[in-house]
Structure 1
Amino acid sequence: MFVLPRGQRVSEVAAIAGFHSHVPVESNPSHHLETVWFVKVLCTLCIRTSPSLQIFKSQYFEKNLNPFLAFEVIKHVNFSFSNPELAFGFFQFTRTNLRVVHSFDTYYMLLRSFPEMGFHDLAKDVLDCMRLDGYLLDNALFEFLVMSFANAGKFEVARELFIAQELLFVRSGSDRVGKISAYVYNNFLSLLVKKNQVNEAIGFFRDHVLRSKCCFPDTCTFNIVLRGMCKVGEPDKAFVMLNDMDNHGCLPDVVSFNTLINGFCRIGNVARAYELLRKIQSEGRFPPDVVSYTSVISGYCRLGEMYNASSIFDEMINRGVKPNLVTFNAVIDGFAKTGDMSSALNIYEKMLHLGCPPDVVTFTSLMDGHCRIGQVDHGLNLWNEIYTRKLLPNVYTFSVIINALCKQNRLDEAHNFLKQLNSRGDIAPQPFLYNPVIDGFCKCGNVDKANVILREMEEKKCKPDKLTFTILILGHCMKGRMFEAINMFNKMLAVGCSPDKITIKSLVSCLQKAGMPKEAHKIRLAVAGYLDSCLSSSSRSIPDLNISAAIK
């Protein structure tokens, strides 16, 4: 990196530059060393005089600073000095004040480097200058910029790039501007859908991709839009689009149908999904695959219609389609939730027989099924089986076993599982894991133990929720520890957790029965003040505004 000698001023360097460079630097190849030296001087002047750069506003620099030298200076400032803002400043200053017509290489370098460095706004400014100077984006740079802006969430800029490229194609023809690759707009549409910009994706697809003369959508393009429509719960509209695909030279494939099947199942319309499954089979262009069957099976399982789910499960095996882990887990979970553990275990055995290894989801569903019918010890055996198979319980596995133990009043065992959970650094503790244990200890009158669990909960950075506070407030009231109940209520308000009507009425009622009318009145006032502060602040909201009725 070039730096000024100690004690040498910027004005002196400028004078030396003028002395050594009476003619354009690149006019003679033998002056290569002088060129390198001059570029270093210019870089140093940039650093020392930024952000004004007024030292360059002279006839000398206007005469001798050419696009080649400007490129070298911008490159060194951008990369060697790691100063993209200054590189852009020099680029803009020389373009505006010295009338330097920057080369395509300069534009290409800035447009490639700025997005990679995270300076998308600067890249947009450079792009605007490039258009004004009459340069065209080649396909590689166009594709790079579209995806860079889209990945940064600047979808409007990416969309403008598409529109500009379309206009260039229409005006200049394919000789100067090539057709837009399906890879680009497919990825752009996919990003929009992924970022929940589904309406924007649909609008862009209809207004630009379908109508553009330089875009030729394929089946993959349609599938992305179909996925977006189904994602927002509109499989009926997706079905209309699927039927319109052949008008645009595309035919739906198994992915198209699977997308709609899954979309209908997501909104509970499994009968329609089943019709589409039969439509695939009747048309005979391609057979339904494991995803087709699994989507319908999962849909029926979620509805608890296990007869239909089992029939399709048997059908897929008879047709030579091997169920995968997702299929088995869906059926096992469906039977477990209906309490049919005999059928759930039969599917589990079939799973092992077909060589499909179970995962933690499999065991969690089996544990849940056993616990639902009171067979908690069977669930505990499966807990041990998880570790035997070198798997790790997830947050839902813990929830299933903790809830089941609490229902059987085996609170110390449930607390031990909480301690295991607390030792796991890969699981973020949630209130729904602690609440059943806290509730169990409060109901049996052991509020001290409940308070211990609350402290453990807070030590793990797990914030108590409305249910946690309500359980503890009522638990302390039932033990006659009214001041602790009041303190817990005040803490609830202090952390911004809104009490509901049940909490307020129960606490006020208990205080009145305990002969503490003044404290009951203070609770009403505290809630009224909390309501006023929340309603007057735009940054906080009350989920249940009906709590005002509880303080009257």
Structure 2
Amino acid sequence: MLGLLRTNEVDRGHLLLKEIQSKHDFSPDVVTFTSVISGYCKLGRMEEASYLFNEMFCSKTKPNLITYNVLIDGFGKAGDMESAAAIYDEMLLRSCLPDVVTFSSLIDGYCRKGHVEQGLKLWHEMGIRNLCPNEYTFSILINALCKENKLKEAREFLSQLKWRNIIPQPFMYNPVIDGFCKAGNVDEANLIVTEMEEKQCKPDKLTFTILIIGHCMKGRIAEAISIFHKMLSIGCTPDTITVNSLISHLLKAGMPNEANQIVLIVLEKNLGSGLSSSTKALAPMDIFVAL
């Protein structure tokens, strides 16, 4: 059964479930039902998942926390928050207590629909229930707040990390750094990166790319170049977006020599296979002119 579901053959898994039901000597348990329901939810086939959920009750099989969680997550990702909320209400009615996964799925669903305020209400409900959010819960709300340009609120969520037993990850910081860079406040973005590093959270490729582009857009080209060198010094390999963005801004700023130097560094590190045609046009002749 589980082997079929792992290969996305959920329909065959459902047929096997029916076969088990047809035999009086065997009765599918909550794990069997939940496995097939989860398979349908992952495929976004919520009608089939709901049908099986109802079948559980007909067969007098009691859903467990995992059953409710996969359904809530499935409806949330399908954009059907009315059904997700109904499943949540039903689990409470049946005295099945929600956990951090339940709330994270609900918050994610509401944020996907643009209902961030509802997501924040659920965040506070978690606190009332003494449930600690995990890094995924934080990331969902931080992303959602940044999309609505509520950078101050997103920044406050980052500040809460030091009070939580959570290991900070770059994906939690990057949306906020990006938001401040796009707002032209690169000083605040730099401050957030410093806080990251103080928490032993190393900036990743996306962090550096956001910073480089943000500083270039602000006209702080020298700092962008410095960030690029720092990126290389810690062994973080830039991708073509990073390199092409920096070189493009250098050329627009009338700094062909500096652009040539970046190209030379990239070629020396064998990173040049994905450079744009305009970038490649600088090498190798322009490099030697610059030198």
TM bin (shorter chain): over 0.9
Q: Which 5+ residue runs of structure 1 have no aligned equivalent? A: 1-260, 532-541
Name the residue aligned to 1:547.
274
CA RMSD of superposed structures (Å)? 1.3
| TM-score, normalised with respect to structure 2 | 0.93
Q: Which 5+ residue runs of structure 2 have no aligned equivalent? A: 281-291
Which protein has the larger Cα radius of gyration, Structure 1 or Structure 2?
Answer: 1
Q: Give the drift of 1:267.
A: 2.0
**1:476 maps onto 2:215 in alignment:** yes
Equivalences for 1:309-388 in 2 at 5 Å?
A: 309-388=49-128
**1:520 maps onto 2:259 in alignment:** yes
Q: Give the drift of 1:548.
A: 5.6
Q: Match for 1:414 among 125, 131, 154?
A: 154
Name the residue aligned to 2:24.
284
- Which amino acid in 1 is paired with 2:112? R
Q: Give the drift of 1:263.
A: 2.0
Q: Is the 8 A contact 1:493 1:530 kept in 2?
A: no
Q: Give the drift of 1:282.
A: 2.1
Q: Is the 8 A contact 1:447 1:475 kept in 2?
A: yes
Equivalences for 1:52-67 in 2 at 5 Å?
A: none
Q: 2 CA distance for matches of 1:336 and 1:487?
A: 43
Q: 2 CA distance for matches of 1:387 and 1:396?
A: 16
Deviations 1:505-550 (A, max 9, x none): 111110011011111011111112223xxxxxxxxxx7xx733667
* Structure 1 residue ranges (4+ consecutive) displaced by more than 6 angstroms after TM superposition: none
Q: Match for 1:400 among 132, 135, 140?
A: 140
**1:272 maps onto 2:12 in alignment:** yes
Q: Match for 1:459 among 198, 204, 217?
A: 198
Task: Rate the CA distance shift 1:327–1:265 in 2: closer, same or farther, 3 A.
Answer: same
Equivalences for 1:66-85 in 2 at 5 Å?
A: none
Q: 2 CA distance for matches of 1:465 and 1:264?
A: 37
Percent identity reads 60
Q: Is the 8 A contact 1:332 1:347 kept in 2?
A: yes
Q: Is the 8 A contact 1:376 1:405 kept in 2?
A: yes
Name the residue aligned to 1:74.
none
Q: 2 CA distance for matches of 1:495 and 1:296?
A: 46
Name the residue aligned to 1:491.
230
Q: Is the 8 A contact 1:528 1:548 kept in 2?
A: no
Q: 1 CA distance for matches of 2:187 and 2:6?
A: 45
Name the residue aligned to 2:170.
431
Q: Give the drift of 1:500.
A: 1.1
Report which structure shows greater RCO (CA 8 Å, sep ≥6).
Answer: 2
Q: Indicate the SS of the match to 1:480.
A: coil
Deviations 1:484-514 (A, max 9, x none): 0000111111111111111111111100110
Q: 2 CA distance for matches of 1:445 and 1:304?
A: 39
Q: Indicate the SS of the match to 1:507.
A: helix
Q: Is the 8 A contact 1:335 1:341 kept in 2?
A: yes
Equivalences for 1:150-229 in 2 at 5 Å?
A: none
Q: Is the 8 A contact 1:265 1:296 kept in 2?
A: yes
Q: Give the drift of 1:302.
A: 0.6
Q: Is the 8 A contact 2:243 2:275 kept in 1?
A: no
Deviations 1:146-193 (A, max 9, x none): xxxxxxxxxxxxxxxxxxxxxxxxxxxxxxxxxxxxxxxxxxxxxxxx
- Which amino acid in 1 is paired with 2:204? D
Q: 2 CA distance for matches of 1:401 and 1:362?
A: 15
Q: 1 CA distance for matches of 2:163 and 2:268?
A: 40
Name the residue aligned to 2:2.
262
- Which amino acid in 1 is paired with 2:99? D
Q: 1 CA distance for matches of 2:113 and 2:259?
A: 43
Q: Is the 8 A contact 2:244 2:275 kept in 1?
A: no
Deviations 1:400-430 (A, max 9, x none): 1000000000001001101111332x21111
